[in-house]
Amino acid sequence: MKKSYRTLEFSFIQDYIKNYCFSEMAKKRIDQIQPFQDIDDLKLYQDDISSAMKIIYAYGRIPLAPYEDIKEILQKAQKGGVCYPQDLLKIVQILKNVQEVQAYLDQEIEQSHLLEILSLLYLPKDLYNEILKCVDPSGNIYDHASHELYRLRRQISAIEANMRKKIEALRAQNKDYLSHDVISTRNDHFVLPVNVSYKNQIKGIHHGHSSSGRTTYVEPEEIVSYNNQLSQIKQDEQLEIHRILLELTKKVRSYDRVLNEDLEIMIEMDAVFAISEYGKKLDMVMPIVDENCQEIELLKARHPLIDQKEVVANDIVLKKPQDILLISGSNTGGKTVALKTAGLLSLMAICGLPIPVTQAKLPLFDAVFVDVGDEQSIEQSLSTFSSHMKRLVFITQHATKNSLVIIDEICSGTDPKEGESLAEAILTYLHKKGAYILASTHYSALKEFAKESDYIKIASVEFDQEKMQPTYRLLDGSVGNSYAIEISKHLGLNQDIIQHAFIIKDESMTTSQKLLEKLQSELSAVLQEKEALEKLQKETADKEKHYQQLIDNYQSKKEKMIEEAQSDANEILEEAQNKADAILKELQGQIKPHQVIQAKKQL
C-alpha cells in the first residue's frame, strides 16, 4: 500500500492538509492517516469531518492559535520538577485555546459526535488566571505575583535609584580622571570608566580593562556597599520567584489529567478541522463508503493536485456485474490522469477524507494496488517490462475481491501479441478473484476482447485532432484511437514517413476497424459540438438571468420613486392645508363666517 501512496502522490494531499494545522502534533496526525479496516470507525471519522465542514461553512474556522506539546512539561511536574515561565506560557496557550473554543461553541451548533468531543474540553480557570497573574507574555514574573515579590522589587528599585545618584555625583567629582563621560556596568555592578593613567586616584574594585587597554573600570568603594545590599535582595527575589513557580507547578500537577485530555482533544480537532478546511477549499464532499456497495461511482471527479480552474471533471462509474473499466485513447496522458484520479480519490475515501466530486459511492476497499508509470529498477537491472511485470505478479498474488487495482498500459513494453495475451489472461484472473480493475491499453485485440466481454466496461479519453492534444474528457462506451501517427506528424516527423505510415496502417486495418475509427472521429466531433452548444446555452441562461435582474431592479426602483413622489406630494398638501387653516384662524372675527368658508373652499 505504501508504494500505492507514493505512486498516487497521496503524500502531497497530506502536505496540503498540514498547511491548515496549528501544531506539529496535528501535522504528525495527518502523516499517520491510513485506510480504515473497520466500517464503523470510518463512518464515525467521516461524521466528524462532515460536522467540521458544516461548522466552517456556517461559523468559520474554529478559533485555534498555534500551540506546542506540553506532555514533557506535565511529566516534569509529576516527577517533582519545576515549571519555568516558558513552560507555563505553553500551558496558557493551550488553556487560551480551550477558552476560545468554548466561547465559539456558545453558538447554536447542531449536535454531533464532534460537538460532544469538543464539549469535553475543560478550562481550569484558577490555574489559567493564576498563571496570567504571575507570568507576562515575555516569560517574566510580574511584580504583583506576590506581596513579597512586590516588596523586594521596590527595595531593588530604591537601592538602584540611590546608586545612580551616588555614581552620578562621583562621576562629576572625578570627571578629570575619566576616559569618557558615560557610566557603565560590569558584572551587574555600576563602574566608572577611569583613564588607566589615573587608576589609583579612585579607590574601589577593578572590573577589567577596555579592549584598547586605555580604560580601567572601577567600582567606587562608596558603591560597593550598595551593590552588596542589592546582590542580597536580588537573591531573595530569585528565591521568591522560585517559590511562586513551585506553587504554580503544584497547581499544574493537580490538573495533570485535565491538561493531558485537553491537549489530546485539541490535537485531534486541529487535524479534523485542517482536513475540513482543505475539503472546503476544493469544494469536496464526503463519499458514501459501504462494505456491501457493488459499484464505484465518482461523479464529476476532479484530480485534487491539478489546478482546479484547469482540471477537467469526469464521471468514473463501474457497476457490478461489470468490474473492469478498460480505457483506451491517445498517448498524451489522458488515460493516466483518469486512472490516477480514480485511484487517489478511492484511497482518500477509504482513509475517511472528503473528495473533489459532486457525489461518490464506493466499497470499503481492503487495498488499492497501483501499477502506473515506468518505475524500472536500475539497481535490480530490470527492464521496463520486467519492472511492470514484477508489480503485476505482486498484484495478482495479493489482490482480493475487496481490492481496487489500477493498471496503466497493461502488459506494454513487449511483443504486442504476447502482451495482448498476457493482458487478457491477467484481467480474466483478477475478474475471477472479484477485484475491481481500472486499466488502460493501446492493444487492439484487448479492445476487441473487452467489447465482447459483459464484465468489462469500455471507455476512451477524448482527443482534439485540431489542437493535437487530449481534452482529458472520459467517454463511456467508446474505444479510443492512439493517434500515434497524427501526434508524430504534429511533433515534426518527416512527411514522407507520415504518409507511408498511414498507407501501412490503412492496409493492415479490417473494414470493421476502419468503420470504428471513422465512427470514433465522428463521435468526437459530435461531442465537441455538444459541449460548445451546452456552453452557449449556459451563456444564454446567464445573460437571461442578468437581464431579468436588471428588469427587476428597474421595476423596484420605479415603484420606490413613485412611492417617494406620492409621499412628497402628501407632505406638500398637508403643509398647505396647515398653512391655510392657520391663516383663516387669524382672519376669524375680521370677516364674516360665510366668507371664511368660501375662502377655505377656494384654498
Percent of the chain with pLDDT over 70: 86
- Tens of pLDDT, residue by residue over 106-121, are 887 888 999 999 999 9
Per-residue pLDDT at 481:
64
Question: Of the given ranges (533-537, 570-574, 580-584), which has the lowest mean pLDDT?
Answer: 580-584
Whether pLDDT at 320 is above 80: yes
C-alpha angle with apex 293: 340 to 397, nearest 5 degrees?
Answer: 60
Per-residue pLDDT at 377:
44
Q: Which of 483, 473, 476 is nearest to 521 (CA)?
A: 483
- Tens of pLDDT, residue by residue over 226-274, are 888 888 999 999 999 999 999 999 999 999 999 999 999 999 999 999 9
Q: Are 316 and 325 in contact (CB under 8 A)?
A: yes
Q: Is 253 exposed, middle or buried (0-12, 13-18, 19+ CB in 10 A)?
A: middle
d(CA 322, CA 369): 19
d(CA 535, CA 528): 10
d(CA 45, CA 113): 9
Which range is most confident: 8-17, 161-170, 588-597?
A: 8-17
Does residue 254 or residue 563 have the better pLDDT? 254
Percent of the chain with pLDDT over 90: 49
d(CA 519, CA 525): 10
The CA distances from residue 451 to 325, 471, 521, in Å, are 11, 24, 18
Q: Which three cell numbers stand for residue 351?
A: 482513509
Per-residue pLDDT at 185:
79
Architecture of domain 2-124+255-281: Orthogonal Bundle (1.10)
Query: Please, which pLDDT band fits residue 415 given cuts at 50, 70 and 90?
Result: confident
Question: Of the given ranges (53-67, 405-419, 558-572), which has the lowest mean pLDDT?
Answer: 558-572
The domain segmentation of the chain, as residue ranges, is 2-124+255-281, 146-230, 288-508, 533-602
Does residue 359 or residue 170 have the better pLDDT? 359
Per-residue pLDDT at 380:
45
d(CA 63, CA 40): 29
Beta-sheet strand order (sheet of 436-440): 367-371, 403-407, 436-440, 324-329, 456-464, 469-476
- Tens of pLDDT, residue by residue over 327-344, are 988 766 688 999 999 999
DSSP state, 178? B
Q: Residue range 392-418: average pLDDT?
A: 90
d(CA 6, CA 371): 11
Q: Could you count the other beta carbons within 10 Å of the beta carbon of residue 265?
A: 18
Helix (H, G, I), strand (E, B) or coil at 519: helix
Whether pLDDT at 43 is above 90: yes
Per-residue pLDDT at 346:
96
Does residue 181 or residue 306 have the better pLDDT? 306
| 204-209 and 215-220 strand pairing | antiparallel
Q: Residue range 150-156: average pLDDT?
A: 94
Query: Please, which pLDDT band fits residue 491 given cuts at 50, 70 and 90?
Result: low
- Tens of pLDDT, residue by residue over 369-384, are 999 875 444 444 456 7
SS3 content of the chain, % helix, strand, coil (to 5): 60, 15, 25
Whether pLDDT at 311 is above 50: yes
- Rg over CA atoms, the chain: 41
Per-residue pLDDT at 599:
63
3-state secondary structure 398-410: HCCCCEEEEECCC
Q: Which of 7, 45, 19 is nearest to 350 (CA)?
A: 45
3-state secondary structure 547-575: HHHHHHHHHHHHHHHHHHHHHHHHHHHHH
Beta-sheet strand order (sheet of 314-319): 288-290, 359-363, 295-301, 314-319
Q: Are 464 and 471 in contact (CB under 8 A)?
A: yes
d(CA 8, CA 13): 10
Domain boundaries 288-508, corresponding CATH code: 3.40.50.300
- Tens of pLDDT, residue by residue over 424-462, are 999 999 999 999 999 998 888 888 898 889 999 998 888
Q: Which three cell numbers stand for residue 379?
A: 539497481
Query: Please, which pLDDT band fits residue 586 given cuts at 50, 70 and 90?
Result: low
Per-residue pLDDT at 60:
87
